[in-house]
Structure 1
Amino acid sequence: MKSKKAVLVIGAIITCTFAALAYVKLQGGQKVETTVVAKGEIKQYVEDTATVKSSGKQTVYIEGSGKINSIKVSVGSSVKKGDVLLTMDKGDLELKLQDANAKIEAAKAELQGTDISNSVNKIEIAQAAVDVAKVTYEAAARDLNNKKKLYASGSISKQELNNSEDEYKNAEAALKSANYQLEDIKGGTPDYVKSQYLAQIEQSVILRDSVTRDLEKQQVVAPVDGVILEKMVDKNAPGTAGTAAFLIGDTKSLELEANILSDDVYKVKIGNEVEVSGKAIGSSLIKGKVIKIAPEAKEITSSLGVNQKRVPVTIEISGDLTLLKPDYDLDIKIVTEAKNNTLIVPDSALFDYKGSTCVFVVDSGKAIIRQVKKGIESEKIIEIVGGLKSGEKILSNPDNNIKEGMKIKL
């Protein structure tokens, strides 16, 4: 009996001690962190990842033929317009060029000491001008044809197409002018010269220029500034005209491609601002905007092996593109809604109580539970559209020790 009484006494003492401590705590006040409700800016996001893509891809083809001697670039290499990408064997063509030059020199030697040598030299110069103009014209025609295809696919602007058309017209006019000048010079040359030396020289010049153009085709050059996205040929393999050699991505026309969960994509609209970041660009923050949303979702398997319905979304990038390269993976935040001058509080201040969203308001030095109405939500802040006023104090991060009516020590 004595033992039971001792236990009861000890229990009573402990109970009284806790009650006393609780009373002291209530009277002295619980130390808490508070924040003042104020107006500010809040943005609501849809967050995901996106991959850098080039909207201006171009396939580069081999125009000559022969064994591929060297490949100067690899996938991922940055190139400038005119950079040599690969070279092919030139041995046979170089011999043909030497032969053509020898025939030209032989024809010139036969003209030495004659009264008509100056006339023939003028014809040769005029013929060469025609050949150059013809090459320029043919190049402009090919470029115009390519630009028409790119414009039809939406890869270039109308202005770029117009510029190509102007270059074609200028090249066509230059070729006509060169032909007129050649015919004018020929008209003043004696008939026996035309029938003898002119034919020899013209044939040799045509042969030389043809071989020179063939030699130029023995190397493939970059048509634009960009990045090598794909290499389709190998060193020492035979190269033939029309073979696709490289795929180049134009670094001046980069965009982001994201696949947004179908459950979230309804929030995304054309024109939404996008914030772009990631390890690939260091601490930089790049801006962009949504320019295209696919009309239907596609099934994609995540890295964890989960099948998900996702909708492709295209993002136009603004600002400095030099930080980016095709196939970079970056983090994106699509701003689906933004508000200025609205009440905002830390998300840690809110808690669920009896089925409602509530906060602890500091009222006369005590913690009072108040129901609030949420607006849009961001990463660490939430908009409050009802239940609070600007200037009120709330508990920043209440825990389970805080009870309604408890005195607060700031």
Structure 2
Amino acid sequence: MKRKRKVYLIGAIILAGLAATAMKMLWGGQEVMVLQVRPGTITRSVTDSGYVQPAVDFDIHATQSARVAEVLVETGQAVKAGQVLVTLENLDLSVQISDMRSQLSQAQTAAQSARAALERTRLELVDAGDNLKRMEELYGAGAVSRAEYEKAVLQVETCRQILKEQSARLDSALAQEAGSRESLGRLEAKEGQLVVKSPADGTVLDLPVKREEVVGPMTLVATVAAAGQLEVKADILSDDLGEVKIGQKAVISAPVLGQDTLTGEVKKIYPRAEEKQSALGVIQRRVPVIITLPDPGPLKPGYEVRVAIETRTRDGVLVLPREAVRTTGDGQREVSVVVKDRVEHRPVQTGLSDQVMIEITGGLEEGDVVVRDGGLELKEKTKVKPVYE
């Protein structure tokens, strides 16, 4: 009997509590979170993923068939301009250079010999000319015969002919020497290409060759990123590209940055879209966009980032959280305004929106009190108890 009384007592307490709650709802109204309409700034952004890449990088290729003799650096290593990265060896080229040096030496010797012979003949021509002058005087005085005079003339003519031939031989020898020297220069320049050097201060991004490996022309030997110059490449959906312009601000975030963000600027928009496959296997048309990164912070080439390109911004406009605005069945936008603790459904006109806020262009005034959750089922004139954020 006592047990039944106890059960009845508990039931009575519960009913009393429910009744009290109902009375509170009836007289005090349902508690709802509200906020006041205030001016603010709203920014529309095109958001997508991207990755960090060097603003300037250099792909260094082999220029000839060769064997990798030494690899002197490692991937990720900082290098200076002119620092040797890889040395190659081309034995055929070494033989050609040796042969050409021998040919050049022979051409130089031949040129020296031709020059010496030419100088001797010039001296002989001078002597022959002096002798001819004496013979002319003696012949005029009748001291020598005509035969002796003609012999002196013939000697001068012979020296002149020999001098002409030797001059031609010297020109030929000099031409051969110049040709050999030019050929040797080309071969030595080709030999110089076997020493692969960094074109700039920077970091080695890729080093795909190994010691003793045989490479051919256009084989990638190394990739070097110029120091301190990074940028972000983001592939933006072509449908979102209409508002993206060069010079617009871009906010960059990444896990490595934590809560911090970096600021860049749209530098280049590619002139054509490319087919890309999404993570879900959907083929999309995307346009590469390059964003400057003046201060990369801890970001390194290859890091994935999130990019938000700010395409439109409005300051000093009335804004509300997007969840405060609902769309009716006929496509109209409306909010629940609290006036004297009662709900009033009010149609509004909206403008720019971002991921959090929406601009109110008509239907509300600054200071109006609006229910934060536009999805609450609150009938017109429902009595509520506003709870401000």
TM range (shorter): 0.5 to 0.7
Which aligned pairs between 1:170-189 and structure 2 lie closer than 5 A?
A: none
- TM-score by length of structure 2 reads 0.61
Q: Which runs of 5+ in 2 are unaligned?
A: 1-16, 95-187
- Give the match's secondary structure for 2:239: coil
Residue of structure 1 in register with 2:372 after alignment: 396
Cα 1:261/1:375, change in 2 over 3 Å: same
Two-structure CA RMSD over aligned residues (Å): 3.9
The residue type paired with residue 51 of structure 2 is T
Residue of structure 2 in register with 1:372 after alignment: 348
- 1:37 is the counterpart of 2:14: no
- 1:363 is the counterpart of 2:336: no
Deviations 1:317-340 (A, max 9, x none): 243135333322210001111011
- 1:294 is the counterpart of 2:294: no
Deviation at 1:359, TM superposition (A): 1.2
Residue of structure 2 in register with 1:320 after alignment: 295
CA distance in 1, matches of 2:281, 2:386: 51
- 1:382 is the counterpart of 2:358: yes
Does the CA contact (< 8 Å) of 1:227 and 1:325 recur in 2? no
Does the CA contact (< 8 Å) of 1:254 and 1:317 recur in 2? yes
Cα 1:217/1:271, change in 2 over 3 Å: closer
Cα 1:274/1:215, change in 2 over 3 Å: same
Deviation at 1:258, TM superposition (A): 1.7
CA distance in 1, matches of 2:259, 2:377: 40
- 1:407 is the counterpart of 2:387: no
Residue of structure 2 in register with 1:332 after alignment: 307
Does the CA contact (< 8 Å) of 2:236 and 2:289 recur in 1? no
CA distance in 2, matches of 1:88, 1:293: 40
Deviation at 1:273, TM superposition (A): 1.2
Does the CA contact (< 8 Å) of 2:269 and 2:290 recur in 1? no
Residue of structure 1 in register with 2:165 after alignment: none
Cα 1:304/1:65, change in 2 over 3 Å: closer
Cα 1:220/1:213, change in 2 over 3 Å: same
Residue of structure 2 in register with 1:195 after alignment: none
Does the CA contact (< 8 Å) of 2:56 and 2:225 recur in 1? yes
Does the CA contact (< 8 Å) of 2:34 and 2:386 recur in 1? no
Which aligned pairs between 1:87-106 and structure 2 lie closer than 5 A?
A: 87=87
Deviation at 1:263, TM superposition (A): 1.8
Which structure: larger Rg? Answer: 2
CA distance in 2, matches of 1:374, 1:242: 58
Which aligned pairs between 1:122-161 and structure 2 lie closer than 5 A?
A: none
Residue of structure 2 in register with 1:202 after alignment: none
Deviations 1:114-172 (A, max 9, x none): xxxxxxxxxxxxxxxxxxxxxxxxxxxxxxxxxxxxxxxxxxxxxxxxxxxxxxxxxxx
- Give the match's secondary structure for 1:48: strand
Cα 1:266/1:237, change in 2 over 3 Å: same
Does the CA contact (< 8 Å) of 2:233 and 2:291 recur in 1? no
CA distance in 1, matches of 2:278, 2:53: 20
Q: Which runs of 5+ in 1 are unaligned?
A: 1-16, 94-211
CA distance in 2, matches of 1:374, 1:364: 25
CA distance in 1, matches of 2:274, 2:215: 39
Count of aligned pairs between the two proteins: 284
- 1:304 is the counterpart of 2:262: no
Deviation at 1:42, TM superposition (A): 1.0
Using the TM superposition, name which of 295-304 and 240-249 deviates more. 240-249
The residue type paired with residue 332 of structure 1 is V
Deviation at 1:274, TM superposition (A): 0.8
- Give the match's secondary structure for 2:299: coil
- Give the match's secondary structure for 1:264: helix
CA distance in 2, matches of 1:327, 1:58: 16
Residue of structure 1 in register with 2:57 after alignment: 57
Deviations 1:37-87 (A, max 9, x none): 111111111110112233422233568997534424444444333444234
Identical aligned pairs, as a percentage? 30
Does the CA contact (< 8 Å) of 1:26 and 1:407 recur in 2? no
